[in-house]
Chains A and B, each alone.
Chain A
Amino acid sequence: MKLLKATTFLVAAAMATGAAAQQDGGRLDLIVQPEPPGLMLGLVQNGPTQMVAGQIYEGLLRYNQDLEPQPSLAKEWEISDDGMTYTFKLQEGVKWHDGEPFSAADVIFTTKFLQDNHARFRGAFSHVESVEAPDDNTIVIHMKEPYGPFINAFEAGSMPIVPKHIYEGTDYATNEMNNTPIGTGPYTFVEWEKGSFIHLKKNPDYYLDGLPHIDDLYYRVVPDAASRAVAFETGEVDVLPGGAIENWDVARLTKMDNVCSTSEGWEFFAPHAWMWLNNREGPTSNKLFRKAVMYALDREFVKDVVWNGFGKVPTGPVSSKTNFYTDDVPQYPHDPEKAKELLKEMGYDGTPVRLLPLPYGETWQRWAEAVKQNLEEVGISVDIDSADVAGWNEKTANWDYDMAFTYLYQYGDPALGVARNYIESQIQKGSPWNNVEGYVNPEVDAMWEAAAVEPDNAKRQDMYTEIQQKIVEDVPVAWLLEIEFPTIYRCEVKNLITTGIGLNDGLRDAWIEQ
């Protein structure tokens, strides 16, 4: 029996923070951008919702920055040697924010609730045979097959535990309680003034003694990027989460007195940016052309100039922060001459390609312009084809593009966040988060399938190394950047980022030096 019993939280916290005395109290103002559509994490899983609701709801586990599981609503867990049974021991004395006791029944109910409402959960739980609760504080999950990445599927965004007593037997989507979310987390919902702010306050009955430290959290909604920078500059807000301001403001703000910044807290997500190259038609359907694109791109330049030096140029489909990464793959350095040779070899006739940028602000626009310039230097003619968010979704989901910017989260494991973009069964019109480029390689598909259910981690590493080598050789997409979104905050805020999802669940441990 392989035993993965973690130390209790308090010991872990003490190790993380050294011996500094943690102070209670205070108020923290953070930017949330854009305003979330809702806070019921079981129903809505977009970025801003996760950032706010991650303080209200909890998962069974959390993950540290090395992506190792840590206790959350589950205090201990075991995985059987054959990888077929997962046993979770739940925390005792946990109460929902309305005072009702939390128990294993809520977890069982959650698996049903999320089955109807959470695409990513549905994917992970398709490997599950059954879930049972032998007693009020134990959950046992029986698998259909061993599924290595399963242990990574339990953080608050992937599997938020929702209250059975509020949702059972109701229409989940229209339940009035969605507007006043009830969770088990360290902060409770107080008020949401639409267009202005969301106010959360300390949960006085939180089951971990002494936590949380901060009294009030205000998530401020400021729709204009320049105004968000001003809000931080004038002291109105204390924390700018990654991506809240345009990159060129980062350097200016981090030079201010008493301002700290970090690019940590994104390890679990490991946002990975690339351009989909339409493998079905046009010049991009030719492998030589796609390789030429890789050689033509000056990715280091974009990292240094457009992203102010933040991030890392990727070697292939898997982020260096994600488990089972390898850099032992074919390399594509910036080499315009090589790109021209490849274009000549393929007989490129100058057919223009349409480039679809991501409509997420000025940074992305500049990035598209840099790519256009790189490609035109080697003789590829490029038309930038702009759209708003809905238009971008429509075009990519229906494959109406030649090259399209995107970035995706990896969720710690290639099987969770990477495979979906390269396997044939994930070619599904109508969604922009799958194999949009139309890459088909049955040999690699078989390897993905085998690697996901391989219980031995060393063997999984070998398999994923080979997968990465093969995909990088085929260049179905043009990998651009492992994005790092710097979080900018006042230095008196301590312990802000302690997990692999950073601000999304970090306020539990954060405190303010008075």
Chain B
Amino acid sequence: MAIAVAIFSRLLKAAITLLAIAILNFFLVHAAPGDPATVLAGEAGAADPQMIADLKARFGLDQPFYIQLARYVGNIMTLDLGYSFRQGQPVLDLIMERLPATLILTLTAFWISLLAGVALGVAASARVGKFTDTLITGAALLFYATPLYWAALMAVLVFSVQLGWLPGFGYETVGSGYGGLARAWDILKHLILPALTLGLFFMAVYMRMTRASMLEVAQQDFVKTAKAKGLAPSIIRRRHILRNALLPVVTLAGLQAGQLVGGAVLTETVFAWPGIGRLMFESLAARDYNTILGVFLVSAAMVIVFNIITDLVYRLIDPRIGQKA
């Protein structure tokens, strides 16, 4: 019961937050210089005043600002993300078209980084100060410090251009006619480089976090008690230390999960991955207002949803949290 009330109150707050974010986004996007009509006219390489006026009228940009805002708020209240005049499609369709590709990429990267990061962190903490520890921390520092863009290009150069093992860009082999398993295998091969590139940074972060947290928890009294009881070290590590050490990692994972939708712009660009980050970036450059606002809104909603999920996961890992509240 308590948990249902907690979720309901969170959802209510979330809806209000989301509305505030949407309105703020609207102001931000319109504050940028230029508008979709002039960009579209500009790209045509020829324009007369009539063309700009026609486009502005078609996009509703000839209306006063407050009316545009009121229309937008009215639309999102009815869950209508609007129409992309630039691409001639409803924004929701554009987002749904791109969402699967992005989720495949970001979720793969998310799980790789989380699982590998925690495992490496545990391994490093178990052999603290030894060679394994130095090796793992050293590698993590390297991943942590390497700019994503550069790592991506190097990965392409080595594995795609030089060795020819993996495709360097794209989501699948275009026009291959693959179906079923062959297609899944094809997508998987395309997925490896971008997912690793995207996952490396967070893997390093999880690893460092887990290691530090494990070492800290290991100093606490209840661990000494467990040792005194004569429990096996592996059980102590797994059931007593790790479980308590995971809380900060979950916090961080919640933050990363919030970026599942909009956080892969660079990776998607370098690897020509047809995802939502690129849609956002390209729409921003084209001042395609409705599309940018739509992507922003979906991203914001994801952040809020994952915040709630994170809170729920806390309760699972540490049942005391819900009771205290």
Contact = CB atoms under 8 A, between A and B. Distances in A.
A120 B50 CA distance: 11
Given A46-B44, A389-B39, A174 B88 contact: yes
Contacts of B33: 387, 390-391, 394-395
Contacts of A428: 48-49
B232 to A, nearest CB: 51
Nearest to A223: B269
Interface bin, chain A = 35 or more
Interface stretch (B7-15, B128-136, B164-172, B221-229): B164-172
Interface of A: 27, 29, 34-35, 37-38, 40, 44-47, 116-117, 119-120, 122-123, 173-174, 178-179, 193-197, 199, 216, 218, 220-224, 226-227, 230-231, 233-234, 236, 387-395, 397, 408-409, 420, 428, 430-434
Interface string B154-167: 00110011001001
B88 A393 contact: no
Contacts of B43: 37, 46-47
Given A173-B85, A194-B98, 19 more contacts: A37-B43, A40-B88, A194-B279, A195-B98, A195-B273, A196-B171, A197-B174, A197-B175, A218-B174, A223-B269, A223-B272, A223-B282, A227-B169, A389-B285, A390-B35, A390-B286, A420-B46, A430-B49, A432-B38
Given A29-B174, A230-B169, A431-B52, A393 B34 contact: yes
Given A194-B97, A390-B38, A397-B38, A227 B44 contact: no
Interface bin, chain B = 35 or more
Interface in B10-45: 32-35, 38-45
A233 B85 CA distance: 36
B174 A220 contact: yes
Contacts of B286: 37, 389-390
Contact of A432 (B42, B97, B170): B42
Given A230-B156, A433-B46, A222 B169 contact: yes
B160 A179 contact: no
Given A173-B85, A390-B39, A433-B45, A195 B279 contact: yes
9 contacts: A179-B89, A220-B272, A223-B272, A224-B272, A227-B272, A234-B164, A391-B33, A433-B41, A433-B46
A116 B160 contact: no
A234 B160 contact: yes
B80 to A, nearest CB: 16
A40 B88 CA distance: 10
A420 B49 CA distance: 13
Contacts of A433: 41-42, 45-47
Contacts of B47: 119, 431-434
B271 interface: yes
A221 B272 CA distance: 7
Interface in B273-325: 273-275, 278-279, 282, 285-287
